[in-house]
Amino acid sequence: MRNNNNEANKQRITMMSSSAMPSDDGSSSSMKALWMPFTPNKLFKSSNRPRMLSGAKGMYYWTSENKRILDGTAGLWCSNAGHCPDYIVDATQRQLATLDFGPSFLFGHDKAFEYATRLVDEIAPPKGDLDRVFFTMCGSTSVDTAMKIALAYHAAGGNAAKFRFVGRERGYHGVGFGGMSVGGIPNNRKQYANCLLPGVDHLKSTYHRDRHAYTRGQPSWGAHLADELQTMVATHGASTIAAVIMEPVPGSTGVLPPPLGYLNRIREICTRHDILLIFDEVITGFGRLGKGTGSEYFNVAPDLITCAKGLTNAMIPAGAVFTKGYVYDALMSTTPHGVPAIELFHGYTYSCHPVAMAAGLATLDYYRDHNLFDRATAISPHFEESLHSLKGLPHVIDIRNLGLMGAVELESIPGCVGQRGYELMERCFEDGVMVRQTADTIALSPPLIVSNEEVDIIVDTLAKNLRLIE
């Protein structure tokens, strides 16, 4: 059923989007104040029908025009349990009325300790010894936290010369200066190129369309690409490399499943040279691949895991970093017992936010009680089959999938990269389906509650509009 709690707000947004006067840039005056993130602002604000959302429930959004939109993206890879589950909403509201905020510097509260314990017991990869959790605010802050922990760990062990990080082309690690530096998306970096971290190198992307196109699941070719890390070790010296960071499956750049054996070889090289391995699981965590983490899915244990999004079902912003016990212990050994000496000078005002912790605990309950990770595994074959039925339609040059992650890549219009993808996203929205556009790739990541029938509606809508776009 629809969430009707925001009727007045919905009416106000409708008035804003339909009747406000245009400003100098073509936008309505009521939209002028907001600078929208990762959005072509002028294009959005000058639209006659901007994509304004006013409510959500289950698999659906509602627009300010009272139109129902099937969510094929779990919001932004994050509402894994669907929108506004009553159980999570209720737990969040109760906490907000009990302890709205408590400082996490020099003070604590029960839910933070309880949630960290349950994350270690229920989500961290089995036998991976990832048994410490540092709470952050989002994926970007999780990445910067993991990078700082890696540097502090090596310094605590007398290896402060280990300062380099290795990222990967087409990797996305958020928008902090650390995450942008190790990230490999040119448009995210070029405006800030003079201020990115020094000492960062990038492995080549594992994606090769000529060898991987239309692969279902992991491609068989490409494990040897991991050996480039060994070349970097020879070039820079292992004594200078602090950590390698990568997404098990890059999502924001178009769902790029790793070649079989690639992550295992990266792990082996890192272990051999005392380099920490960080998996950025902001997208792949919490059931997206049918497991608590991608680390568990691939049976590769990193030294740190960053996460966010599905951590609280996006009910409240939150992030976290899992670390192996020896990383934590190395920093604890730098200060004597009984002395108020801070081991890691790092944290956020909203680390361990009580409302986020309550939302996270309820989210874990919901995942467990509704068997959502197993459900994702069960529906993945149908998702794969349906998605690959788009092969051969106009403009489609590749289709990729793993778990409940999928992508349809389109041939770009020369000189207009992204135009075709944007038009397809717009057309699908007009037809009642939300998909995600990254340049000329359409990404799909439906909530784990999606049904086979809803998968087919999403794919059929894509198919219809692929036949209509130029």
pLDDT of residue 27: 53
**DSSP β-ladder status, 441-444 and 405-410:** antiparallel
pLDDT of residue 19: 39
pLDDT digits (tens, 9 = 90+) for 443-455: 999 999 999 999 9
The answer to whether the beta carbons of residues 114 and 356 sit under 8 Å apart is: no
CA neighbor of 369 nearest in space, from 88, 130, 76: 88
For the chain, the domains span 51-81+372-466, 90-369
Q: Which residue's structure tokens are 């049976």?
A: 299
CATH number of the 51-81+372-466 domain:
3.90.1150.10
Phi and psi torsions of 32, nearest 5°? -60, -40
The three-class DSSP label of residue 262 is helix
Ranges of the chain with pLDDT below 50: 1-6, 8-22
pLDDT of residue 276: 98
**Is 379 exposed, middle or buried, given 0-12, 13-18 or 19+ CB atoms closer than 10 A?**
buried
The answer to whether the beta carbons of residues 65 and 24 sit under 8 Å apart is: no
Q: Which tokens belong to 118?
A: 């349950």
Query: What angle in degrees, to the nearest 10, is found between the helix axes of 354-369 and 110-122?
Result: 30
Q: What is the C-alpha to C-alpha distance for residues 57 and 279, in angstroms, rounded to an integer? A: 31
The answer to whether the beta carbons of residues 111 and 364 sit under 8 Å apart is: no
pLDDT of residue 126: 86
Q: Which tokens belong to 323?
A: 């670390």
pLDDT of residue 25: 56
Amino acid at the residue 334: T
pLDDT of residue 15: 40
Count CA atoms closer than 13 A to 230's CA, side-chain side. Answer: 11
> What per-residue string of b and e applies to 284-313 under the rule 16 or more CB within 10 Å gives b?
bbbbbbbbbbbbbbbebbbbbbbbbbbbbb
Q: What is the C-alpha to C-alpha distance for residues 245 and 146, in angstroms, rounded to an integer? A: 9
pLDDT of residue 286: 98
Mean pLDDT, the chain, rounded, equals: 94
pLDDT of residue 128: 74
Task: Count other Cβ atoms within 10 Å, centred on residue 361.
Answer: 19
**H helix count then E strand count, the chain:** 17, 15
CATH number of the 90-369 domain:
3.40.640.10
Q: What is the C-alpha to C-alpha distance for residues 211 and 291, in angstroms, rounded to an integer? A: 28
Q: Which residue's structure tokens are 């809508």?
A: 461
Opening angle at CA 288, ends 211 and 214, nearest 5: 20
Task: Count other Cβ atoms within 10 Å, centred on residue 40.
Answer: 11
pLDDT digits (tens, 9 = 90+) for 100-112: 999 999 999 999 9
The three-class DSSP label of residue 425 is helix
